[in-house]
Every structure is written in structure tokens, then in C-alpha cells.
Amino acid sequence: MRAITLIQPNRLVFGTQAFERFREELLQAACKRVWILTIPPFVDMLAHLVQEAGRKGITVQVETYDSGEPTFRLYAEHLNKVQGFGAELIVGIGGGSVLDLAKLLAAMQKNTQSLEDVVGINQLKERKVKLYCLPTTSGTGSEVSPNAILLDESTLEKKGVISPFLVPDVTYVDPLLTLDLPPKITAETGVDALSHCIEAFTNNFSHPIVDDFALRGISLIGRNLLRAYRQGRDVEARSAVALGSMYGGMCLGPVNTAGVHALSYPLGGKYHVPHGLANAVLLPEVMAYNLPAEVEKHARIALALGVQEEGSREEIAQKGVEKVRDLVRACGIPADLWVLGVKEEDLNELAGLAMKVTRLLKNNPRELGFEDAVRIYQRLLKKRTGNHVTDHSRDHG
């Protein structure tokens, strides 16, 4: 068994009192200048905390972020703000975009490296500012991962910064923060989290320790996401999906994702399709493509999802793919790239962009080349012609 290193937050607080624990610990912190990056719905909730902190001599500045997935330009704008404030502690409260940006800002506020210097794996040399993360969605797992992803507008490529210095000092996962998440975002981020677990489990570099996280995450998300989607204030379902998402995040550092994410990045870069939605549309199709290379593991995924252990391993594995396909459909996610604005004449460009994501493609259990990528996109592109729909999947068996 090869050696593997797990790098996780110094402290992880999980449960329905996690936000209250964060509030108490922030007020007792030695840091006197705190910069919080969050989303508009949480500004009012934080107002009382800002006042309490002020009475204790702690200056808290709340910056709202509502700009979609982070880009190089948005990073530069926020870095100027946070450097001007001089934070001793940076807190991210939001979805994956907010957390990724907060993580990078904490690492780069007092860093002489440029963003271009730190893109890639283990290029970041330090972080001198403390970092806390609180997720408000159950999807990216950014709150426990060493990853941050940004769009380079000049090339339409999504680029990753992967470093132990991006792992928070403290993470607070409170399922209550997700209760008002709209059904659409619940579904998209939930299937994104499911894809983290599935891609880690079937990965070329999978590991028994991470397999345990992945299978547990698959079971929790697969059996509870639809309930959370339909009954948003169901605390039990929300807690299960939040825990599954956290397990998915724990898979990202030591193992990471594969073909689904490599193919989804160009959809975000060129068409600005939200990351979770792109992964959700692609997941069943890429699973079907990968299944022949990892029948046993796909069968185990199916069993974790609740498929009955009847028939051959391949039959069980196929039922697992259909189970995921049915879940995606039940959550209102389109199995159709046309709906997302994708044009047939762009498929070669998308496949070319996907081929650049070599750090993820090498993880895929079945070799995935340019023509394979084009065919997967084609299977998901249903062209409207009058009242008819042309499904390209029939062209490729």
C-alpha cells in the first residue's frame, strides 16, 4: 500500500451549533482585525456579531461577494481590498466560490508571490494570515480541501492552486446555514459533492483510506439529496448531505477528481455554466464511459447508493449509473448541453480545452482523449429542430 498524506484543518467543528461556536471563538480570538467574505443573504446575520466584536476591540469588516465563480480579475480586486484593511484573520462564509477566494486571499495577503506563480500543485510557499471557513452549501468541499479554482479570462481555462497552505486553520460546518438554499443550488452542489466522492473512489490513484471517505459520502448524498432538494428545511437530510459533502472535500487533497471535472471546466470557462451544474450534467455520462474500466468499483458505488445486490457485477454497476442518472433527473438538472447554451460547432474547442486539464485526466480510470471528449459532449447535446429533438447519443452507440 503506497504512502498517502492527509492534510485537513487543524480543527473541524461539525453540527447544528457550529456557527454559534464560531461566533464565540471569534469574540475570544487574539486577532484584532478580521475580514469576512460572505454572500448577501448572510450580511444581516453577521451585523450583530460585528457590533459585539467592536465592543471587544475587534474590528470586523464584512465584504459581500455575489459575482459567480472567481476570476483572476476578481481575485486582484479583492486582494487590493484585503491588503488595504490589513487582516490578521480572514473568514469565508459562503459557497465554494467564496471559500476558494477567501483561501487564496489569506495565503496571498502577505505573500511576495504572484497568482501566476502559485497556479499548479505545491507552488504556494506560505500563508501568514489565519483562515476560517464556513460553507453555506453542501457541494464543493472547499472548507476542508487544499484546492482553489479560478477562471483565467484570457485563456478561458479554469486554473487550480493546490497547496497545504490553502487548508483552513478552523472549519465550521453547520447544516443550519444551508436550510434556505434554493432547490436548484441544493441539487447542483449536491451532485457536485457526489461527483467528488465517485471520482475519488474510481480514481487511478485511489487509496483505501480515501475510499472509506468516498463510499460514506456516496451513501449519505445519494440517499438524502432528493429529500433535501424537495424539503429544504429538513435538518436531518441537510445534515446528511453536508456530512457527505465534507467527506467529498476530504477526498480532494490526497486523490482529487478526474474526467467529469476535466470536461466540466470548459463549460464554465466558455459558457459560464456554474461549476456544480456542469458536473451534474456530465456525471452520469462519464460514469457510463468509465464503467468498463472499473466494473467492481462501479458495482460498489451502486450498492452504496442502495441498489440491490442482484445479478452480475456489471449489471449492478449499470444499475448504479442509472440510479445516478435518475437522481440527477429527479433533482431537475437537465441532461442536455443545448439547454446550457452549448453549440455543436464549439465541441472541438471544448474538447481541446478539456485536454489541457492533464492534472485531472491522468486520474481517470479509462483513458479519455480528444475524440472521447467530443463524443461525450455529443451524447449530451440534444439539438432542437422545430418540434423535434436530435439526440446525438444514437450516433455513437
Q: What is the CATH number of the domain that holds 280?
A: 1.20.1090.10
pLDDT band at 396 (very low <50, low <70, confident <90, very high): very low
Range of the domain at 22: 11-178
How high is the mean pLDDT of the chain? 94
Record the pTM.
Answer: 0.93
Say yes or no: 130 and 254 in one domain. Answer: no
Count of CB atoms situated within 10 Å of the CB of 310? 8
Is the pLDDT confidence value at 312 over 70?
yes
Q: Is the pLDDT of residue 386 over 50?
A: no
Q: How confident is the model at residue 335 (pLDDT cuts 50, 70, 90)?
A: confident
Alpha-carbon gap, residue 157 to 153, rounded angstroms: 7
Residue of 83, 202, 105, 95 whose CA lies nearest to 139:
95
Q: Are residues 73 and 112 in the same domain?
A: yes
Last residue of a domain, one of 178, 211, 230: 178
Name residue 299's amino acid. A
349 lies in the same domain as 387:
yes
Confidence band (pLDDT; 50, 70, 90) for 69? confident
- Residue 4 located in a structural domain: no
Q: Which of 148-157, 265-274, 310-319 has the highest mean pLDDT?
A: 310-319
Q: State how far the Cα of 58 lies from the Cα of 223, in Å rounded to an integer.
A: 43
281-297 pLDDT per residue, tens: 999 999 999 999 999 99
- Are residues 98 and 66 part of one domain? yes
Share of the chain above pLDDT 90, in %: 90
Indicate if the pLDDT at residue 14 is higher than 90: yes
Query: What is the count of structural domains for the chain?
Result: 2
Residues in contact with 388: Cβ distance below 8 Å, sequence separation at least 6, in sequence order: none
pLDDT greater than 90 at residue 318: yes
Q: What is the mean pLDDT of residues 1-5?
A: 89
- Mean pLDDT on 339-357: 95
Q: Do 89 and 198 share a domain, yes or no?
A: no
pLDDT band at 253 (very low <50, low <70, confident <90, very high): confident
In the structure, what pLDDT confidence band is assigned to residue 120 with cuts at 50, 70 and 90?
A: very high
